[in-house]
Structure 1
Amino acid sequence: MTGAEPLDRDPAEVVPVAAEGIVDDERTRVIAWSEVTALPARSARRIPSVGARLPESAERVGDAVAWVDIEAGTVQRIDAQGRLDVLAQGMDAPSMVRAIGDDLIVASRPGVQRWEGVQRRHGGRGATVHTSFTPAPEDGQHGPHVRFNDGRLAPDGALWAGTCDEADPEMRGSLWRRGADRWAEVVSGMLCSNGVDWTADGSMLVIDSLRRRMLVGAPDASGCPAAWRVGVRFELGDAIPDGLTVLADGRIAVAVWGGRAAIVLSADGTPVERIDVPCDRVTSSAEAPWGLVLTGAATGEEDGGLFVVDGWTAALS
């Protein structure tokens, strides 16, 4: 599936890289929790109208923000006035929602769908155009416990998405790219493939959560990530890097599961700011005209939900 131009080479030509073979080099930035706690901080507040179990994949949709709830099986959005719109419910592990024009791309366990014209109307889901795309089922990795995780549309229009095996304690999976008519495995053996985004120079960033690191894929001549390295290694105790977003000013926001925070990095991976969130399991973020919106998952002791840093856009101007 593509949202813009098709890929300029057949995804079948891609030779998968093993994640365990991607190693630190002299450019790898190591971030310790003590460094994070010393950063200047801003605070997010809870949006009271929103409850959630396992929300992920926050995405700006016009002036609103959409997200999925993997455990609740829903796709929702909220606008600046706090109006909540349930776009879908009863889905099987929806894990990603991304905007493309007036449409939304939504991934769930069965595959990927394109919902047409969702942004033009309020209170209803668009028509399903694509369904049941599964990542390379012939390799034996796609089974009842494997699902998509986070992903994003690349600048060239290709869809990138990670998978994870919920029955595996390491949530082992791969990073995949969807071209014109097929999936290609790009990085194998990811331990919970998570947040994906691109920098201004075309480098791809992806979180390898349970290895606690951010990978960087430098583009080759065709623009596809090729030369992989470890950009950042997170030494955050029990906390784990989760969703990732490249912000409008080029900085990088990394949600921290188990850290009650998101970390803002400069483009070179230096931590520059901490966002304190009143939720232990922070999962993703998205910039909206009315603030930086973050998602957080529920625990046995606290509810999940949506959180916002007011005045964030003004601070970037």
Structure 2
Amino acid sequence: MADETITILDRRRLELGEGPSYDALTDTVHWIDILGRTLYEMPMETRRIAAHPLPRMASEIHGVDEHRQIMAMDDGLYLRDRASGALELHLPLEADDPQTRSNDGNVHPSGALWIGTMGRRAETGAGAIYHYRKGRITKLFGNISIPNGICFSPDGATGYFCDTATNHLLRVAVDPLTGLPTGEPNPFHDQTGQSGHHDGACTASDGTIFIASWGGRAVLVLSPEGEVVRRIDVPASQPTCPAFIGRRADRMILTTAWEHMTPDEISLDEQAGMTFLLNPGVLGVGLPHVEIA
């Protein structure tokens, strides 16, 4: 039995903690409060957490090289200077629609980036999932309300994603060299009628999928065949996204949120919005930096 002890990494209560990622270029962990417009940064060596205010809502950040990162924000992809924090628009993304913002995303083993968008009020079907690689954005899937669960098999041949509103995790064949789909999505795991809704996800080196259960107080572990093989209980009702961290990818960060909760619910859910650290019991997969040219 894996040691599933969960400890608090950061006690700050984020309204919508999301987008945790590990940057192997600098041995640093990042996560974001989307609605709080703040980027959090933690070098693994010091474990000292810095908070960086953002001028716009953002949802994910990944390394490009030793000097730059790429960040999905509410109107496009931005390049961020590591030293100064300065942001420069790289490519617009739904910039002509002020009602949408970026949401869940992840890096494919090829260095391509998948980015989800959604309505700011989770309007039905207002979102989509896009593919970015070497300066080009391609729309992959539309008519999505809340894109989540974006992750990839270790060999890069399968992609996973879900619409939290429908609670179905889908899988699709993907070109390992480009991160582009080569087929149509098919049902993989149906969480309808069960506790919680599928949210952010990541994959382990053995092909299992760790997916946060929003409202379910858990991270579910799915087999490569789509069966629940383990449940990791979480001391907050709205876990949002897990990510493997560290040089060995042997630890996991988990973000949570208090979004949509009443003051009474927040007071009863004492750790809602905190960021956690846990032992996943399996090694993760190291993600490459994003290819921008």
Q: Quick check: 1:261 aligned with 2:218?
A: yes
Task: Indicate the SS of the match to 1:92.
Answer: coil
Q: 1:91 to 1:249 in 2, by over 3 A?
A: farther
Q: Quick check: 1:307 aligned with 2:261?
A: no
- When the two chains are superposed, the root-mean-square deviation of aligned CA atoms in Å is 2.7
Runs of 4+ in 1 over 6 A off after TM superposition: none
- List runs of 5+ in structure 2 lacking aligned partners: 285-293
CA distance in 2, matches of 1:283, 1:148: 15
Task: Indicate the SS of the match to 1:188.
Answer: strand
> Residue type matched to 1:60 in 2?
Y
Deviations 1:74-120 (A, max 9, x none): 1112244431112x31332111112344332211112111224x3xx
CA distance in 2, matches of 1:155, 1:259: 30
Q: 1:157 to 1:130 in 2, by over 3 A?
A: farther
Task: Indicate the SS of the match to 1:256.
Answer: strand
When the two structures are superposed, what TM-score results if normalisation uses the length of structure 2?
0.80
When the two structures are superposed, what TM-score results if normalisation uses the length of structure 1?
0.74
Aligned with 1:277 (options 185, 209, 234) = 234
Say if 1:41 and 1:273, in contact at 8 Å, map to a contact too: no
CA distance in 2, matches of 1:166, 1:41: 38
Deviations 1:23-71 (A, max 9, x none): xxxxxxxxxxxxxxxx988342222443312110110124332111111
Q: Which residue of 2 aligns with 1:148?
A: 102
Aligned length in residues: 265
Say if 2:13 and 2:257, in contact at 8 Å, map to a contact too: no
Say if 2:154 and 2:204, in contact at 8 Å, map to a contact too: no
Aligned with 2:92 (options 105, 122, 133) = 133
Task: Indicate the SS of the match to 2:4.
Answer: strand
Q: 1:49 to 1:258 in 2, by over 3 A?
A: closer
Q: Quick check: 1:213 aligned with 2:190?
A: no
Task: Indicate the SS of the match to 2:165.
Answer: helix
> Residue type matched to 1:193 in 2?
P
Identity of aligned residues (%): 25
Task: Indicate the SS of the match to 2:92.
Answer: coil
Shift, 1:173, TM fit: 0.8
Q: Which residue of 1 aligns with 2:257?
A: 297
Deviations 1:180-239 (A, max 9, x none): 444322111112111312113421111221110111111359752132211111135462
Q: Which residue of 2 aligns with 1:245?
A: 202
- List runs of 5+ in structure 1 lacking aligned partners: 1-38, 119-123
Task: Indicate the SS of the match to 1:95.
Answer: strand
CA distance in 1, matches of 2:122, 2:163: 15
Deviations 1:273-317 (A, max 9, x none): 21111111100111123721100002331340201114x46x549
CA distance in 1, matches of 2:205, 2:85: 28
> Residue type matched to 2:256 in 1?
G
Say if 2:18 and 2:241, in contact at 8 Å, map to a contact too: yes
CA distance in 2, matches of 1:104, 1:221: 23
Deviations 1:141-190 (A, max 9, x none): x5222011111232333322111012354363111122444432211111
Say if 1:40 and 1:273, in contact at 8 Å, map to a contact too: no
Max Rg structure: 1
> Residue type matched to 1:304 in 2?
G
Map of 1:90-239 to 2, 5 A cutoff? Answer: 90-102=54-66, 103-116=68-81, 118=82, 124-131=83-90, 133-135=92-94, 142-170=96-124, 172-201=126-155, 202-219=157-174, 224-227=180-183, 228-237=185-194, 239=196
Map of 1:35-74 to 2, 5 A cutoff? Answer: 42-62=4-24, 63-74=27-38
- Higher helix residue share: 1
